[in-house]
């Protein structure tokens, strides 16, 4: 076991968390969410996506979000992009980095971006080259790494193969997603181990959903391998528009609590984090999916 000493938390709430919300969240709420997240000690955050507004209406105002937010020094604000057009918009919006996204299964790729995995990789190569040419850091995602809503079981080789392609394009970080949250710890570990045959440990991130209550256990299994980048979402917001029934991303508050309890540094202030979770949960009029934040809000303190 070689737990990392420090973990980088990548906050995906403003994008992955909100993209599934049916009602359009007003610009000022998105801006306040991002600005408050910037104050808790998070170093990396996905502020929105430049995708087709017909596909994901909630993200249609990402340009305005980037224009309005006050950026905190030391925090990287990134944008998810599906094609070169998204890249150009991200560049114009002065995103600090961009993230491209493929999938481990053909069916999910078709539903999510209307093309095969191979076509998505072909589409991303010029995007990656454009990013490299201007020195824009490029992140890659792989959806459905531990299960697919359409195809069921997913082989670790399928994930590792897409990861190898994303690495070859120049992604500095590759986030392995359990988009529907069906994974269990040994499977999560096997996925990382297979990916490690093509991608160095320092470039691997994990992105787990908590649909079946397995996310923290899966994270722990990967921490044991030394993975040190974890995606999570404030208040456990999320779901996936193309993965019916998938509940939220693992809650940032819960991840941070577990890491803090294990003596692993994140730089995130838990109390400020709970307050941000409370803010967005109150706006959405929904209880937070974070267990630790719920305890904190009831008792005014979390932990022993």
Q: How far is the CB of 277 from Mg ion (least distance, A)?
A: 17
User: Interface with Mg ion by CB under 5 A: which residues?
Assistant: 16, 249
The one catalytic residue among 115, 171, 240, 297 = 240
Which one of ligand HMG, Mg ion, none interacts with residue 56, CB within 5 to 8 A by kind? Answer: ligand HMG
Residue number with CB closer to ligand HMG (175 or 278): 175
DSSP output for the chain: ----SB-EEEE-IIIIITTT-SSPPPHHHHHHHHHHHHTTT--EEEEEE-S-TTT-GGGTTHHHHHHHPPPPTT-EEEEE-SSHHHHHHHHHTT-SEEEEEEESSHHHHHHHHSS-HHHHHHHHHHHHHHHHHTT--EEEEEE-TT-BTTTB---HHHHHHHHHHHHHHT-SEEEEEETT----HHHHHHHHHHHHTTS-GGGEEEEEB-TTS-HHHHHHHHHTTT--EEEEBGGG---BTTBTT--PBPBHHHHHHHHHHTT-B----HHHHHHHHHHHHHHHTS--S-HHHHHHHHHS----
Which one of Mg ion, ligand HMG, none interacts with residue 286, CB within 5 to 8 A by kind? Answer: none
Q: How far is the CB of 271 from Mg ion (least distance, A)?
A: 25
User: Interface with ligand HMG by CB under 6 A: which residues?
Assistant: 16, 19, 49-56, 82-83, 85-86, 101, 112-114, 141, 143, 177, 179, 207, 240
Q: How far is the CB of 132 from Mg ion (least distance, A)?
A: 26
240 is catalytic: yes
Which one of Mg ion, ligand HMG, none interacts with residue 55, CB within 5 to 8 A by kind? Answer: ligand HMG
Q: How far is the CB of 298 from Mg ion (least distance, A)?
A: 27
Active site residues: 240
């Amino acid at each position: 076991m070689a737990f990392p000493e420090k973990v980088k938390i990548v906050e995906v709430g403003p994008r992955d968390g909100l993209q599934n919300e049916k009602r359009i969240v007003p610009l000022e709420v998105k801006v306040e969410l991002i600005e408050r997240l910037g104050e808790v000690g998070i170093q990396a955050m996905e502020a929105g996506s430049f995708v087709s507004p017909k596909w994901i209406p909630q993200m249609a105002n990402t340009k305005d979000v980037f224009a309005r937010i006050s950026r905190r020094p030391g925090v990287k604000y990134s944008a998810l992009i599906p094609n070169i057009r998204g890249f150009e918009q991200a560049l114009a919006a002065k995103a600090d980095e961009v993230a491209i996204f493929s999938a481990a299964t053909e069916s999910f790729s078709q539903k999510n971006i209307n093309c095969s995995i191979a076509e998505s990789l072909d589409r991303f190569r010029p995007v990656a080259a454009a990013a490299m040419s201007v020195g824009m850091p490029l992140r890659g995602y792989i959806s459905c790494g531990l299960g697919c809503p359409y195809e069921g079981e997913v082989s670790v080789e399928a994930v590792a193969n897409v990861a190898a392609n994303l690495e070859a394009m120049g992604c500095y970080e590759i986030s392995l997603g359990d988009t529907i949250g069906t994974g269990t710890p040994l499977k999560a570990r096997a996925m990382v181990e297979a990916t490690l045959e093509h991608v160095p440990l320092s470039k691997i991130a994990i992105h787990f959903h908590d649909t079946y209550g397995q996310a923290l256990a899966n994270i722990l299994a990967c921490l044991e391998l030394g993975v040190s980048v974890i995606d999570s979402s404030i208040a456990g917001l999320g779901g996936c528009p193309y993965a019916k029934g998938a509940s939220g991303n693992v809650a940032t508050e819960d991840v941070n609590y577990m890491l803090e309890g294990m003596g692993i540094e994140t730089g995130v202030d838990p109390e400020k984090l709970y307050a941000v979770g409370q803010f967005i949960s109150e706006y959405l009029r929904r209880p937070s999916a974070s267990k630790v934040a719920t305890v904190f809000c009831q008792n005014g303190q979390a932990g022993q």
